[in-house]
């Protein structure tokens, strides 16, 4: 969606006129209706208000879990004015909550969702993004209602931006199989879990890189990571990526020698062509130059 700075500035000009009243009367239905109307004019975004630090309130302009809209909301928030008592955000922040709320299902029936017993298992990709299997307690609704409930829960626990950028795939299940049940964690702990895994992965890469530079082989590196409490799946990912990097570094170091070898072969062929032109009927073929060039090219060929 195209970013219209004039439209955004008009919104903020209006917001300034009601910011004090909204602080004092956040449940005023007239103000809420007006705010809905103004935000809807901006495009495919929504809003949320809640408590912030130092007795402030936050106003979040939400991209509605659309990563492509996050740039838009970030640009819009960058134009926000200074308003006493307000803190502006480009996405919904994590909630300080008990994970219980009410919503309407696909039959427009109001239901209560309680995530206290929800559990999950995370699987981390090489780029730091996760997929998640999540076990939920029964919800009065179809699969779409369950997905909506999971979106609300993960937005609440992680914050909207982290949810969009860090969770790549979600599988909703009723119960984990016995073989993997011990790996499951309560959903309320997911934010700290993600933070610790990303920190642990960074630590594993730093440890592995340092040991490689010190000349240790990958078996020693694996043992050291295991001793530091790095999970086996993460060790395998880190070792594989470090091995790829070692190969890439060796290939990079070999490139100048490989290129020199190609030059030697080219010079040998060029001399042969020149000799054939200058001395008809005779061809001077510098076997030594071409032969050593071929051997060096084979030896230093990029992997």
CB 201, CB 229: distance < 8 Å:
no
Domain boundaries, given as residue ranges, for the chain: 5-89, 107-194, 247-299
Average pLDDT over every residue of 286-302: 62
pLDDT at 272 (0 to 100): 61
Tens of pLDDT along 172-201?
998 899 889 999 999 999 999 988 887 777
- Of residues 251 and 14, which shows the higher confidence score? 14
Q: Tell me the C-alpha distance between 245 and 200, whole Å.
A: 20
**Whether residue 55 has pLDDT greater than 60:** yes
Q: Tell me the C-alpha distance between 44 and 41, whole Å.
A: 9
For residue 130, give both structure tokens.
Answer: 């996760």
pLDDT-based confidence at residue 213 (cuts at 50, 70, 90): confident
Q: Which of 9-13, 66-70, 104-108 has the lowest mean pLDDT?
A: 66-70
H-run or E-run covering 120? strand 119-124
pTM of the model: 0.69
Tens of pLDDT along 250-261?
555 445 655 676
For residue 152, give both structure tokens.
Answer: 């609300």
> In 135-146, which positions are buried (b, 16+ CB within 10 angstroms) versus exposed (e)?
bbeebebeeebb
pLDDT at 255 (0 to 100): 54
CB 265, CB 291: distance < 8 Å:
no
Round the average pLDDT of the chain to a whole number and report it: 85
């Amino acid at each position: 969606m195209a970013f219209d700075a004039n439209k955004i500035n008009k919104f903020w000009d209006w917001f300034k006129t009601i910011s004090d009243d909204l602080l004092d009367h956040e449940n005023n239905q007239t103000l809420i209706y007006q705010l809905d109307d103004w935000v809807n004019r901006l495009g495919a975004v929504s809003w949320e208000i809640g408590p912030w630090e130092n007795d402030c309130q936050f106003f979040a302009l939400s991209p509605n879990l659309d990563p492509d809209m996050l740039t838009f909301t970030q640009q819009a928030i960058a134009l926000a004015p200074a308003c006493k008592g307000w803190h502006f955000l480009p996405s919904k922040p994590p909630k300080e909550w008990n994970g219980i709320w009410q919503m309407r299902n696909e039959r427009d029936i109001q239901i209560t969702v309680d995530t206290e017993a929800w559990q999950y298992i995370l699987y981390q990709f090489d780029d730091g993004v996760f997929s998640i299997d999540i076990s939920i307690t029964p919800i009065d609704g179809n699969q779409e209602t369950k997905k909506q409930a999971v979106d609300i829960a993960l937005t609440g626990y992680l914050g909207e931006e982290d949810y969009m950028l860090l969770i790549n795939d979600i599988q909703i299940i009723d119960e984990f199989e016995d073989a993997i049940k011990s790996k499951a964690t309560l959903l309320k702990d997911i934010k700290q879990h993600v933070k610790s895994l990303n920190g642990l992965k960074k630590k594993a890469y730093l440890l592995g890189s340092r040991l490689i530079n010190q000349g240790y082989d990958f078996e020693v590196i694996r043992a050291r990571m295991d001793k530091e409490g790095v999970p086996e799946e993460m060790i395998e990912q880190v070792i594989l990526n470090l091995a790829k990097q070692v190969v890439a570094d060796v290939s990079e170091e070999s490139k100048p020698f490989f290129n020199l070898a190609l030059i030697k072969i080219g010079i040998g062929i060029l001399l042969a062509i020149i000799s054939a032109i200058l001395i008809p009927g005779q061809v001077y073929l510098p076997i030594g130059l071409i032969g050593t060039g071929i051997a060096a090219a084979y030896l230093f060929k990029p992997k």
